[in-house]
Structure 1
């Protein structure tokens, strides 16, 4: 498959995904208000924010997919300040930086998709400023996308969009590399012939790994068994066309999901129903991921599917009420 499905499969993805009409608001829904774009980025320079993690002060850590950089942007839009740049890969072309996760000590983990034996996999960026280093090998035909770290168990989890699996790997103490192993697999995670882009976003939440599947327009829950192996895959929501990454609004199971091909932010309720809460008129331009901290929601847009001729990759912040569900 293409090494750069984000940019080369636009026509396929747009044709394959259909948009679901917004459902009515519920009295228990969190509300999303006061959207404002706090930072604009340079599309031509590869500043396409793919994924996000938050620092304790509320600054956003963003992966620039095409520029292969991790940057920091303040809540006020200051920056971007470069944190790290991954090694350049020219053969095959089309390397992209995807998911990011932050440990409490400031260590960052990022997925780098290169199609090469030496670079494809999960990289660690230490807070001491040392050079990024790959710590988890992923097969060259794998596309690790959403990423999370379980610090209690010292384990990384990554959704693979090409292979349609969830990888797991221990976090190495030193500089050695480890091999990723398949933690979860099944038809619900796989891509389709029409859209070769399956398991996408990934979060750890309430005793389970949650995964979005772009090809199937679904949100999935995979519970942990007592021995930390994967339980049966549960489909928690369907019909979320263009779903990319997502975040939980609180301790319950209500989710805010980025719909990358639709320029929308979707609120997904625990019962699987959902409705649109932000659109392109609010500033979204191919939103890729979501983060929530207290009463603030962060939504990066990468402008992959921009049709205006003036792509506007950006970072949008909005106010979100506390989840009552």
Structure 2
């Protein structure tokens, strides 16, 4: 079950520079049912403003309508991770399920089918670049490249700055301006990996540090909006690598995992993995 409410958020921006968005004071929050493991791990948006979310512990994909109605689209065989939507309306989802681990496809008519099997590690973030998917393995410290035309998946980048320390290495992932960007949760870093002319990975570059517990993220112009899971914060990472905090637990964040932007609206999914209190989807404007 869920409820939708309007809350007034007094966003503390005392340390925010002029390049940080002026965040709105009124947010909408869709609250999920923790007792049914409705803890959102990742997000992608539909053209009508609906949000498609993976409920990781429940092994589900759900859709939240603009009015706040929650509909379960698919039940998967294991914990769900990253999710992307292709222009034809299909959803691709990372699933961790032993020998059934891999990327699953959910067609517009429903029904989930294994699209690309991957070795059992911990597949996490998922990004789309035209007809290619990129998936992170947080356990192995890898980025997989998966063609949508049915070609074989292959390890595209691995090791070094992508590796974990004790928990999660490569985690969130996006494709932006000719490069694959990846967060490393253990190291608190944001990484950039250029895509070479032949499609191979260039040298891994560290573009931001000092972000312990960083999860998934998205781009908003030249800035990056990043979910800081451990401290329940939304960080705005600037092109020079510095960052400021725009939202915190006082605004309703509860171990945020992922972010999406549509126009002036920012969607922030919180899974409450550590707090065990109020998993939700916060929708704010700037």
Aligned pairs (5 A) from 1:44-193? 44-77=35-68, 79-87=69-77, 95-114=78-97, 116-117=98-99, 119-129=100-110, 131-140=111-120, 142-151=121-130, 154-172=131-149, 179-192=152-165
Summarize deviations over 1:63-83 as a string: whole Å, max 9, x none. 000111111112332x21111
8 Å Cα contact 2:169/2:186 also seen in 1: yes
Summarize deviations over 1:165-224 as a string: whole Å, max 9, x none. 100111145xxxx643110113100001xx221000000111010000001000001011
Residue 223 of structure 1: aligned partner = 194
Aligned equivalents of 2:16, 2:247: Cα separation in 1: 13
1:261 aligns with 2:234: no
Larger strand proportion, structure 1 or 2? 2
DSSP 3-state at the match of 2:250:
helix
8 Å Cα contact 2:41/2:269 also seen in 1: yes
8 Å Cα contact 2:16/2:246 also seen in 1: no
Flag structure 1 segments of 5+ consecutive residues without an equivalent. 1-21, 88-94, 321-325
The CA deviation at 1:138 is 1.0
8 Å Cα contact 2:27/2:285 also seen in 1: no
The CA deviation at 1:28 is 2.1
8 Å Cα contact 2:16/2:245 also seen in 1: no
Aligned equivalents of 2:19, 2:229: Cα separation in 1: 26
Residue 284 of structure 2: aligned partner = 318
> Structure 1 stretches (4+) deviating beyond 6 angstroms?
none
Which of 253, 261, 272 is matched with 1:292 structurally?
261
Residue 275 of structure 1: aligned partner = 244
Aligned equivalents of 2:224, 2:66: Cα separation in 1: 22
Aligned equivalents of 2:18, 2:76: Cα separation in 1: 46
Aligned equivalents of 2:67, 2:164: Cα separation in 1: 38
* TM-score, normalised relative to structure 2: 0.92
DSSP 3-state at the match of 1:44:
helix
The number of residue pairs the alignment matches comes to 274
Aligned equivalents of 2:109, 2:256: Cα separation in 1: 31
1:38 aligns with 2:29: yes
Aligned equivalents of 1:223, 1:150: Cα separation in 2: 13
Which of 152, 169, 173 is matched with 1:198 structurally?
169
1:243 aligns with 2:214: yes
Q: Cα RMSD over matched residues?
A: 1.5
Flag structure 2 segments of 5+ consecutive residues without an equivalent. 1-12
Q: Which has the higher contact order (CA 8 A, sep 6+)?
A: 1
DSSP 3-state at the match of 2:258:
coil
